[in-house]
Amino acid sequence: MIGLDWRGLMQAGLHGLRLTPDQFWALTPAELQIMLGLTQTSPPMGRDRLAELQTAFPDVDKENLDG
């Protein structure tokens, strides 16, 4: 897994884009990438990957849980 350069991202967001801290932390990584003009670093999720995630993390009906 690749780590994020938080210092660089914060500097670009707070100083380069002149965002307030609240505005910066409210952004998603994708929104920040778009605002900075960066290209997408990973391909969009395909159906197979979505199916894997749905199997690994199924939706839970909290109203019908026993216990």
pLDDT tens by residue, 3-55: 778 898 899 999 999 999 999 999 988 888 889 888 666 678 899 999 999 99
Tell me which H or E stretch contains 30: helix 29-36
Report yes or no on 61 lying in a domain. no
Tell me which H or E stretch contains 55: helix 47-56
Residues spanned by the domain of 2: 1-40
Domain tally, the chain? 1
Report yes or no on 26 lying in a domain. yes
Structure tokens of 32?
Answer: 């920040």
Confidence (pLDDT) at 41: 63
Percent helix, strand, coil in the chain, to 5, is 55, 0, 45
Q: By the 8 A CB rule, do 8 and 16 touch?
A: no
Predicted TM-score (pTM) of this structure: 0.52
Report yes or no on 48 lying in a domain. no
- Kindly indicate the confidence band of residue 63, based on its pLDDT and cuts at 50, 70 and 90: confident
